[in-house]
Amino acid sequence: MDPSVAAQAFFDGDESSSSAIENPASKTVSDPLLIDDLKHILNSLSINSPSAELLSYLSAFCHSQCQSILSLSRDFALHAGRSVLSPEDIELATQQINLMTCEPPTRETLAQLARKVNSRPMPIVPQRAGIILPPKRFTLLNENFDVNLESSETLALID
């Protein structure tokens, strides 16, 4: 099926042509072109005989990623007041999804950040007995308003 037709069917809510996109985990996606492309990619990574389960998982993952990108692209297009997707919508959605699925920092980066944070001295703890509470201005139970009873308008309202 043509990808643009599949995307339009997905947006129109046509269940017959977009069932693999709607819930890729519920059934095995058997798109021969996608399977051939996945085999080619795996061969380039020196994986010469991938199992059927791996190909099924990867094709379901591709479909779910495409669904996420296309639905987010549609949201961007609708927000811009357009009913047709543009390449900029798809690029923006891809960038957004890449930001959500970023890699964790390396051990060296974490160690560098820890050295920077730990280089600052800790505040001195007061040497008094009892519970140490924050200053009154930082407490939630402190009054956050002032009543000025000295003004003539306030006195007129009270009388």
pLDDT digits (tens, 9 = 90+) for 39-70: 999 999 998 888 888 888 899 988 899 999 99
The domain in which residue 54 lies consists of: 3-108
Q: What DSSP designation does 138 have?
A: G
116-133 pLDDT, tens digit per residue, is: 999 999 888 878 778 887
pLDDT class of 150 with cuts at 50, 70, 90: low
Q: Is 103 a member of any domain? A: yes
Number of helices and strands (H, E) in the chain? 7, 0
Q: What is the pLDDT of residue 17?
A: 42
- The DSSP call for residue 46 is T
Give percent of the chain with pLDDT exceeding 70.
70
The answer to whether residue 41 sits within a structural domain is yes
Q: Rounded to whole angstroms, what are the CA distances from 104 to 57, 65, 95, 107, 116?
A: 23, 20, 17, 9, 19
Does residue 14 form part of some domain?
yes
Alpha-carbon distance values, 95 to 16, 81, 85 (Å): 30, 20, 16
In a domain, 47, yes or no: yes
Which of 92, 39, 86 lies closest to 62, judged by CA?
39
- How many structural domains is the chain composed of? 1
The answer to whether residue 3 scores a pLDDT higher than 60 is no
How does the average pLDDT of the chain come out, rounded? 78
pLDDT at position 138 is 79
Give the pLDDT band of residue 88 (cuts 50, 70, 90): very high
Q: What is the CATH number of the domain that holds 70?
A: 1.10.20.10
Please give the structure tokens belonging to residue 147: 């009543």
pLDDT of residue 4: 46
Q: Determine, yes or no, domain membership for 18.
A: yes
Is residue 136 domain-resident? no
Instruction: Tell me the whole-structure pTM to 2 decimals.
Output: 0.47
